[in-house]
Structure formats: C-alpha cells, structure tokens
Amino acid sequence: MSLEKLLENVKIYNTNEQELEMIEKAFYYAKKFHKGQKRQSGEDYIIHPLSTAIILAEIEADTNTIIAGLLHDILEDTNVKKDEIAYEFNPYVAMLVDGVTKIGKIVFSCKEEEIAGNTRKLLNGITEDIRIFLIKLADRLHNMRTLEFKTPDKQKENALETIRIFVPIAYYLGCYRIKSELEDLSFRYINPEIYFELSNKLSKIEEDTKEDLHIMLKDIQTLLNDNNIPNEIKSRTKNVYGIYKRIQEGNKLNEIHDLLALKVMVDDVKNCYFSLGLVHSLYPPVTGRMKDYIFQSKTNMYKSLHTTVFGRNEYLVQTQIRTFKMDKVASLGLTAYWQDPDVIMNDELRNRFQFFKSLLDINRSTSDNKSFLEEIKQEILGTNIYVYTPKGKIIELPVDSTPIDFAYKIDPDIGNNMVAAIINGNYATLDTRLQNKDIIKIITAEMTFGPNKEWLEQCQTVLAKKKIREFYDRIK
C-alpha cells in the first residue's frame, strides 16, 4: 500500500491536478496525526486509512470521498476537530468524516438495544449522504481482509455483522465487487470447513473450464467483430458464498446455471439484443433461463441481458450482455451515477432506488431503536420478493406482503382508494400473500370510504401501516 498506488488508481478516472494535490495533502495530514499508532498486525496505522482510500478509488469515488476515506478515523483516534478538517480541506470532507465517526461500531454480542441503536446510526448515514456509507463499506472491506489478526471470537463476530448488515446494503447500492468479496471473507470465518471445501472445488472447476471458456469467448468475440459490434468480453466464476447459497437452495454443483459466466460489453442497447441472437446462434440457450434486466432493471438499477447457454463439453455458461455504461454501474454501484461531487444525495438519485424510500419510511415511522431494527430486518435485510405492475415496473417488497403493501408502495392515494386487486389476471382478496413475479393490478374508486382498519393486520410494510394510521388520524 502506498500513496503512489492510490494516485495511480485515481488518475484512471480523474486527472485534475488540484484534486490530486488535495488527496496527497490528506494522506500526509492523516499520516502526521496517526504517527506512532499501530494496528493489531503491528503495521503503522496509516496503512488502514490508505487502504480504505484505495478501495474507494477502485470504485471511482469522488475526491471528497477519497479524502474523507484517508481521514475517516482522525476524529475518533486523534485530537483533530471537525472545524479543523473543514478549514484544511472543505466543509463537505468534514461532514463526511464526522458522519463516519458518528456511525460507531455494531457489536452483535452486546445488549439488544445497543445493537439496535448502533445499527440505526449506521443506516442513517445512508440517508444523510450515501458517501458516508461508501466510506464505511471500504473501511469494513479492509478490516475483513486483515481479520486474521483478531481473536477467533472477534473474527466470528465481525463476520456475522458483515454478512447481516454490510452485504445486503452493498447489494442495494449496486456495489457488486465489494459485496462478493465481503460475502466470501465473512463465510471463511463463519464456516471455514465448508468455505475451504467449496473453494478447492471452485479452483478445480476454474482450471478444468479455463480453456473451454476461452474458446467460447473467442468464438463470440469473432462473431461480434464480424458484425462490426464494438465489444469487450470477460469470463468469471461465481463467488464461494454464492455457490453455497445455491447448494442450500437444493442445487447440485453442476446444476448451478450461473456458476460460469461470460460478460459481454457492447456499445449500445440495440447491439445488446443483436448480440443476444448472435450468441444463441453459436450456443443454444437453456429454456427458461433468459432474463431481460435492461427492459426491467433490478431495483438497485442493475441492467443486463442474462441467458444461460449450453457451452462446450456440456458446461452451462451464463452470458451477460450489457453496454459499457451498464457494466460500469454493475461494477461500481452508486458511484457510477455521481455527477457533481458536491451534491449531497440529491432527490433524483434517491428516487431511483426503492431501498432509500423504505429506509426513510422506517426511520421516520419508528421512534425506538428496537422497533427500527425489527422493521429493518423484515423489510430491508430480510428476504424480499419482486413483483410487477401491469406496465412491467418491478416493485420490491418483503416476503408475505399483500396487495395492500403493493398499492401503498405505488402511491399512498392508490392505497387509500383501493377496493380490489387482480393478481395474474384473477381477482384476489387483499390479504393474499404475494409471490415472486406476480403481476398486480389495483382497482380504485373515488367514492371509497378509505382504507379498512383490518388492513393494519394484513399488510407488512411500514409505509402501508403509516399511511393507514395517518388516514384515520385525519378523520378523527
């Protein structure tokens, strides 16, 4: 780890000399105030904030975020004050560093109320400024990479915390690189025996399929070039924890359809669909394994075409086809959307992600930390389902949600005026539990008496319950 490595990573996407100088200044500022401090590994403490900043640069974070990454422990571990950081750098950096400091640590072995309070601090950082949580993600990733220097109990504790809190949030933010690495690092300490068993099997699969994937890659690339489609293709294998989850769902190792994958990047959406046909002309598709996340993007804004094909030597290979821009979003997450480094989570960006709306609703609707944590576990960190409006928009809801939750998620006025629901073309009762891929149409009437109080027992989401209660509060 070195300042030079950090600057090299930043220069890949930012060559502004003044900003590079500010990053260099922040490094020496942090180094000065962390002087004499050591990590449990025995290395100088400055290595940790430097590593955090490098991870942020790898996801192309803005300059203020990288500087804050270098300074993220300085308020907690030194005598430096927030206003000093604002004076030396700028108010945005000071706000970010202060936000990370306020988050504190989540410790699952502590009392339930303390866990809930710390979790709330952590997640509130997202609603204040998403960059606060991005810094915390990078901080956590480096800590997980160096977890071998902790005691066994602390290793397990940190790993559980990471997989329960940080992994789901990394997914919601679209940070797939960080999410996958955090999953595997956590799994290694939670269940090391199975981790190493699967890791060894994966290494053998990678070696056995290396040549076949390379030939498939070249075959597809040649066909795309022959059709004058600008492209780049990469191969990948599923991460260890992802394989473990598939096996837990009842799949055999050789039945995991996305165990092996080719990522095909092209120049525009039209060529995504054209390339799909070309891929199928070389390698026949597996029926039912085609998904169009371009037309219907995931709720974290991920876009791509997915098709699983019969590859060479009977291997199943998922082919992901997307534009270069879509691939950047898939790799970098929210940082790929950043236009102005001084914009603090503008409303337009918030509104793109259903996750933020749910988090804000829960935070506003629950006064005590314990209730907040329970709602977060159920609605955000738990298992979700994905259903559709008649126009094809994907709506994300917690398991056991009903048409009532769906209606209020679409629009509170629709919820208040709802009189019936149609699921997959058939009328259904309002307490029907929705299933993945259901298509729901809500019937409303202007002369309705409003929501039924019984709905409070039938719905799952905080938003639905809040809006129903607000309706009755208004008519008292």
Which listed residue (19, 44, 77, 98) is catalytic?
77
Q: Is 461 helix (H, G, I), strand (E, B) or coil?
A: coil
Check if 400 is active-site: no
List alpha helices for 104-227, DSSP H: 112-128, 130-145, 152-161, 167-172, 176-190, 192-226
Neighbouring C-beta atoms of residue 230, cutoff 10 Å? 12
Long-range contacts of 430-433 (CB under 8 A, 24+ apart): 430/402, 430/403, 430/404, 430/455, 430/458, 431/402, 431/404, 431/458, 432/402, 432/403, 433/400, 433/401, 433/402
Tell me whether residue 474 is exposed, middle or buried, using C-beta atoms within 10 angstroms of its C-beta: 0 to 12, 13 to 18, 19 or more: exposed
Check if 314 is active-site: no
- DSSP state letters, 344-412: -S-HHHHHH-HHHHHHHHHHHH--SHHHHHHHHHHHTSS-EEEEE-TT--EEEEETT--HHHHHHHH-H
Which listed residue (76, 113, 148, 454) is catalytic?
76
State the catalytic residues.
76-77
